[in-house]
Amino acid sequence: MKVVKIQTYKNSLIFSFVEQEKLDTNLTIITTRINLEELVFSAQYILKNKKLVIKFLEEIILKNKITKITIADYELFDIVIDLISKLKIITHLQLRDKTVLTYNDCLKIINIKHLKKLTCYSLPLFMLEKLDNNNLDVKLYSEEFYLSNFFIDNKFNNYADIYYAKTIIIDHDMKDEDYNDFDTFLEINKYLKEIYLYYYDKEIISKLIDKLYEVNIKNIKFKIYQQEDDSKVLNDIGVYLNKNKVKKRNYTFKIIYSKEYISKNLFKQLTFTNLKMCALIMISILLVGISFKIYYDYKSNQEIDDIYDMLDIMEDIEVEEGNENQQMDAAEQQKVVEALTEDYEKLLAINSDTVGWIKVNNTNVNYPVVQTTDNEYYLNYNFYKKRNYNGWVFMDYRNSIEEINDNTIIYGHNGTMFGSLKNTLKERWYTNSNNHIISFNTLYGQLRYKIFAIYVTTPDFDYLVNNYKSKTNFENFLAEVKQRSIYNFNVDVTSNDKILTLSTCAENGAKRIVIHAKLI
């Protein structure tokens, strides 16, 4: 029979499976072998007598000054992890065989707070950052990270990529490892809205629906890219739409036709009358859309003007680089404080979420800033908490204005609110030193930030971390964004500084315009 052998070697306790014809688990026999360098138990005995086995192990560990446990066979992982959680002196876990740890394995290891070091063959790449953030030193035998096609196609390189992903793509046939990683994705992710299928297979969609349904994820849009005859896909979609799971969770399906398919099929079926009708409909929809945009832009600008008219001082904030260190006398300071206090009382009376006022020179950015409990609400609501597609300028819900974080993040739509930030990408703007200072007055003080980086990036670059776990991580991030900057601002910035980040969309959401400035 297969039994568990526990051996001591130097400062290690080694767990492995061995074959033995017969195992006597009589308590007397086991107790008499406690001083030997080798113990043998059945797995069932360990599970049923865990407290007693832990006492045996504690005596061996203390006697031999052991701090490390080695698992020779991955099958023992769950049993040994359960034991280690009670053995506080153990700080190092090693796995010998060539097993790639799973996401759930990593979570179990993270939950053992006294572990400080992990040695194994490999693990999911996106978990390295999370393990590091929990002060766990990780050493891998393999330099190769094993990722499924699902993770590779979606470029999931770290935990944040998975957590914030709103869309995923299926571009290959799904194997067992792909479905396992999809399960892991669903455990971590909070924002999924759309699934793009460049590779279509009925079984794949059925399995995805089952998994989404099982974890109660709702309102998912399936977008299927059509390249050949659509009869099979259309028939399949008809079947999906009639399923109770699809109806209960409100899953929808849309076929996106390739240019080749459209040119070969759809235009053949359209008459001249059809084309005219389609053109009229499209023009009508376009005109309605433009009308709504003009109306909401007008309303947004009117609301901003109303706020300016109400206040006496905030809209007049102007900061030049040469004045950044200029000191005011006590009387001037008191006058500014009283004016700001009065203005904030007016703003708070309208919106209790007000946390400050931001000004960026030679742009339209000169607005009160709000903050709520998520980063979604003010994407669709204005300062008066009325629905408006322009939204409002808001601070990341994780940030604090009382205790300034490493990175204070402020968002705004690339329309009425932050649309003029595109000016910062022009040479005549970023080479003008008068534009390099951003003012962000809060309820707790007048803050000035000096720009050190401006760049355009894709959403997969993670610049939205409000506090860094280590100075090294922060310094690496600062070096990265300075390298990405379109202009060298010659500003020294270190991990001891506090920074401000302004973020808005560009190119219809495909890119981000990002500005970083340090507190001065």
**Cβ of 423: how many Cβ atoms within 10 Å?**
16
For tokens 């009387």, the residue is 331
Helix (H) or strand (E) holding 53, with range, is helix 50-64
Task: Specify whether the CB–CB gap between 415 and 297 falls below 8 A.
Answer: yes
Q: Are strands 2-9 and 38-41 parallel, antiparallel or unpaired?
A: antiparallel
> Order of strands, edge to edge, in the sheet holding 194-197?
167-170, 194-197, 221-226, 252-257
Q: Would residue 278 show up in a list of annotated catalytic residues for this protein?
A: no
For tokens 């400035």, the residue is 517
d(CA 58, CA 66): 9
Cα separation values, 270 from 12, 267, 502, Å: 76, 5, 48
CA 261 to chain centre: 37
d(CA 101, CA 140): 11
Question: 103-110 and 77-84 are packed helices; what angle lies between their axes, rounded to 10 degrees?
Answer: 20
Q: Which two tokens stand for residue 455?
A: 């760049």
Which amino acid, residue 250? N
d(CA 255, CA 437): 49
Q: Which two tokens stand for residue 104?
A: 């759930």
Name the 3-class secondary structure at 263.
helix
Q: What are phi and psi of 421, to 5 degrees?
A: -65, -15
- 418 CB burial (10 A radius; 0-12, 13-18, 19+): buried
From 106, 120, 278, 505, the catalytic residue: 505
Q: Which residues contact 184 (CB under 8 A, 6 or more apart)?
A: 102, 103, 104, 124, 162
d(CA 479, CA 497): 13
Which amino acid, residue 490? N
Can you name the residues that pair with 440 across neighbouring β-strands? 358, 447
Question: Within 111-175, where are the H helices?
Answer: 127-133, 149-153, 159-164
Q: Which residues contact 272 (CB under 8 A, 6 or more apart)?
A: none
Q: Which two tokens stand for residue 293?
A: 């945009």
Q: Which residues are catalytic?
A: 505
